[in-house]
Amino acid sequence: MTVRIVTDSACDLPQDLVDRHGITIVPLSIRFGDEELLDREQLSPEEFYRRLESADTLPETAAPAPGAFEAAFRAAARAGASGVVCINLSSALSATYQSAVTAARALEDEAMPIRVVDSRAITMGLGNLCLQAAEAAAAGASVDEVAALVEERIPRTRTYGALDTLEFLKKGGRIGGAQALMGSLLSIKPVLDLSSGEVEPESKQRTRAKALRHLVELVDAAGPVEHLAVMHGNAPDLDQLLDLLGERYPRDEIVVGTIGATIGTHGGPRVIGVTFQVAG
């Protein structure tokens, strides 16, 4: 029996890696007006961005109910898991973590141990932590060992994103410290630092090309890094960023994730970013 990894749809992990590592994803809900869809399950990234471009109003995201996590935990127990480590997107940005905590408390009397971890990360920053947790679990780590591994790597995780516009972040109410970037929405390409689990301004770049080069500079400036990944929301210049990174880092080792509706609602179309862990 191994420890099962549970996460949410903000992880933006490619489905082949989800399947390979047996990771369970509990979806957030996306609302377009009166229509509510489950991220990944009922709404693919491609369909989401198609609808986003033509939507009159910004879609809304909603955290999963505790019952959704409780169902995932019970399913893991039925499948014979020795425990569950549930790793969720930053609690500063969503109530998802609290839903998972509530579900775990409801099952405290069950025989299977459950650990819930606030990743203080989003998109592939979260996804990377889930992959490493799944690898440790497959190698025989206990539920406490897996949780401790994740907790140790959270402070070393860095996530940066370049937006085409702050319009969607502003409409979604997640702009936070990035308010300082407002005022020249059309003339800059904002780069955000999400490493603390909150949305903070990192820099203002005057062109998209400069924003991509700056993302590479941020990776370089961190020194030796591990688990480098790129994530994007239908970005037409994905290969350009991968080529720039490929000059310094083995391209075949860079995981690429598509930013789905959970994060794409706030980042908007053509968002692109990098995440990695500073070498320990």
pLDDT band (50, 70, 90) for residue 176: low
CATH 3.40.50.10170 residue window(s) in the chain: 3-155
Q: Do 69 and 103 touch, CB atoms closer than 8 A?
A: yes
What gap in Å lies between CA 80 and CA 76, rounded to an integer? 6
pLDDT band (50, 70, 90) for residue 180: very low
**Torsional sign, CA 216, 91, 111, 147:** positive
Pairing of strands 24-26, 3-8: parallel
pLDDT tens by residue, 140-154: 999 999 999 999 999
**Torsional sign, CA 106, 99, 72, 37:** positive
pLDDT tens by residue, 46-90: 999 999 888 777 899 999 999 999 999 999 999 999 999 999 999
pLDDT band (50, 70, 90) for residue 96: very high
Fold of 156-278: Hypothetical Protein Tm841; Chain: A;domain 3 (3.30.1180)
What gap in Å lies between CA 179 and CA 158, rounded to an integer? 21
Q: How many CB atoms lie within 10 A of CB 61?
A: 23
Its CATH architecture, for the domain 3-155, is 3-Layer(aba) Sandwich (3.40)
CATH 3.30.1180.10 residue window(s) in the chain: 156-278
Measured CA distances, 225 to 8, 9, 18, 119 (Å): 25, 25, 23, 18
